[in-house]
Structure 1
């Protein structure tokens, strides 16, 4: 599925959450549709407009009745000692308590409760496809604070990370601005530190008034760190679009070309998706933990190899100093987890998931310790349920980068060069024909394949008829 965002001067139909996104399948743009950027389920946002009817005003009129209801900004000094209903997300008057008998009501609200409502007052939203909220534990917050202090960062833009915002504001005393779709934060933040914002299209839901407050926050010589914690079901393209919107806004206001530091929280198994759209982002070994997610925490028995959530950042990893449970690799020049042992053949610390990987001489790369090598597929893979015919369909060829075959059957390379090779024994690179490494690790591949790389995409002569 392809996505397109409205470019400058271009108008897309809108929903209550801002401009929609155009979705279409390959070669079928006319059959595409405009849909809400924040919600995939039509129960949450019923806007789905066929591409062919995007200019049909009569058709679009049926969506005009949809409204986005803003919260209210309270005078927090008057709320101390009051009650708060976490089911209705509202402060109560003494006469209201009886109508909330069956709800979760917190009485005698303190100043500490108001400083960080994510610890008691606010129940996390649970929609994994849109605005699910998982709050970081103290160890994760302390590491973020250390990164901020060690690198001289003087202000933060928190995109969908409310607990980080309150931690930075209260503990570090550093200016922070929260951009979040959750309107409940109107009750706990003033207009100089919060705006209702859709991170999937870079849209301020309250219009130019709140956007101007954010622009005021951006002004000045001190550069901000952008910290993002998007829903894990969100595609990477909308997030990159929003990053581009925020960075462009900062550059225009301050008349600079500076690249802002970024930290993006995402599972390690989505690394290649992030690298495809932002090649400069590197994955840190630190295991991010949440207080309200059993699988993404260090709770006893919750997950064998720890949380799969990582930090992706353009800050040099050698500047992110990790302590207990981590060590510094002098060869990789970064901190890695204790189980992540450096491989001198691959020239890196290869582990991603919390296990100690081992180097396989047959496929020329480091693999999970429980994987077995399949000579036919030319890969190490799980022993249980492995079917060569089905597995090859998912493989990406190490030579031409296309899916559906391995290097033995790469017609764009082996057949045109009449190369003879053996399917057994130690790995032999089919590009340079030397043993001990695969095509991914071949130091001559750029030279022999005439490869170029642009924005994370690799182009080589195999995809050009005149190169063969």
Structure 2
């Protein structure tokens, strides 16, 4: 398999001096270099095909203030729309709720007519608790391909975590894990889902879901979402936090490791100084890439367990 970290001779590089990267609709971009000493450019952190995100900017290119503000405004409007939608849906009676399969969204009563030509169905309370079964999996292998856990794999992970005494699970790109934690209240576990798939904002409150890009540690909800994460990571009264991450297929290890390290550092800063120095992390990766992962996060070690995927395209994952 071709090394996805150096695809086409292009490497991810860390900007010098902590310079802020320009933003695309998916948050701060990554800095790339084609060949050693080649000209550097910024491109989307989440999409590896410019058909999905056309952002491209040379490192030394000057961009107008108006263009920068326009980029930020797109994300602000989208976030507010979904926050408002969740609040409105919460007050709608169950028998009035419908789901549009074509648009992949829950419909408010006033929207039923506009979607009359689409494939729409009534939704049950059980379906609302299992959004990963209601939503179509994203399948673009160059940006956000989702390979969800089977219930069997997710339950195995949760049983293992419970036996180790973990009471809080930070679900990074693992929506099905979040669902099962909330369904099985007997486990006495809490969870928070961080995911780039904004569709989940229809089903969870701001304290249960944060729209998040794990390739650049970007919270689309800004400081409010960062505060939700910090509140969740704080351990009190014998609580124990663990992070379970399942990145999209083909994700670059270096930016992922950087984001996970930043989450771990946030966790560490919130704990007592005499506690553990490393946040417990379980990282599921879709192909063998142990040397690169250990180079970026040497505290991890590869386990013997392989997680089968539950989707039609069946990709397994190795566990670290």
TM-score scaled by structure 1? 0.59
Q: CA 1:206 to 1:215, structure 2 compared with 1: closer, same or farther past 3 Å?
A: same
Deviation at 1:63, TM superposition (A): 5.2
Return the alpha-carbon distance in structure 2 between the equivalents of residues 231 and 218 of structure 1: 23
Does residue 231 of structure 1 match 2:248? yes
2:219 to 200, 204, 210: 204
Question: Secondary structure of the equivalent of 2:304?
Answer: strand
Question: Secondary structure of the equivalent of 1:264?
Answer: strand
Deviation at 1:269, TM superposition (A): 2.4
Question: Secondary structure of the equivalent of 2:282?
Answer: strand
Return the alpha-carbon distance in structure 2 between the equivalents of residues 129 and 28 of structure 1: 26
Question: Secondary structure of the equivalent of 1:284?
Answer: coil
Q: CA 1:103 to 1:239, structure 2 compared with 1: closer, same or farther past 3 Å?
A: same
- Tell me the equivalent position of 1:111: 125
RMSD: 2.3
Q: CA 1:150 to 1:22, structure 2 compared with 1: closer, same or farther past 3 Å?
A: same
- Tell me the equivalent position of 1:46: 54
Return the alpha-carbon distance in structure 1 between the equivalents of residues 68 and 51 of structure 2: 14
- Tell me the equivalent position of 1:349: none
Structure 2 alignment gaps of length 5 or more: 1-9
Which protein has the bigger helix share? Answer: 2
User: Contact 2:33/2:40 (CA < 8 Å) preserved in 1?
Assistant: yes
Residue by residue over 1:66-92, the C-alpha shift from the partner in whole angstroms, topping out at 9 and shown as x without a partner, is 312222323436352221112213323
Residue by residue over 1:409-443, the C-alpha shift from the partner in whole angstroms, topping out at 9 and shown as x without a partner, is xxxxxxxxxxxxxxxxxxxxxxxxxxxxxxxxxxx
User: Contact 1:24/1:32 (CA < 8 Å) preserved in 2?
Assistant: yes
Q: CA 1:284 to 1:104, structure 2 compared with 1: closer, same or farther past 3 Å?
A: farther
Residue by residue over 1:174-212, the C-alpha shift from the partner in whole angstroms, topping out at 9 and shown as x without a partner, is 110111111111111111111111100111111101211
- Tell me the equivalent position of 2:230: 215
Return the alpha-carbon distance in structure 2 between the equivalents of residues 164 and 220 of structure 1: 20
Does residue 89 of structure 1 match 2:104? yes
Q: CA 1:139 to 1:276, structure 2 compared with 1: closer, same or farther past 3 Å?
A: same
Deviation at 1:245, TM superposition (A): 1.0
Does residue 311 of structure 1 match 2:316? no
Deviation at 1:52, TM superposition (A): 1.9
Deviation at 1:10, TM superposition (A): 3.0
Q: CA 1:237 to 1:185, structure 2 compared with 1: closer, same or farther past 3 Å?
A: same
Deviation at 1:253, TM superposition (A): 2.4
Does residue 148 of structure 1 match 2:148? no
TM-score scaled by structure 2? 0.84
After the TM superposition, which residues 17-416 of structure 1 pair with which residues of structure 2 at under 5 Å, given as runs? 17-29=26-38, 31-53=39-61, 56-58=62-64, 61-62=66-67, 64-66=69-71, 67-68=74-75, 69-70=78-79, 71-72=82-83, 73-74=86-87, 75-76=89-90, 78-81=92-95, 82-93=97-108, 96-97=111-112, 99-101=114-116, 103-107=118-122, 109-119=123-133, 121-171=134-184, 172-221=187-236, 222-256=239-273, 258-296=277-315, 308-312=316-320
Structure with greater contact order relative to length (CA < 8 Å, sep ≥ 6):
2
Deviation at 1:123, TM superposition (A): 1.1
Q: CA 1:157 to 1:133, structure 2 compared with 1: closer, same or farther past 3 Å?
A: same
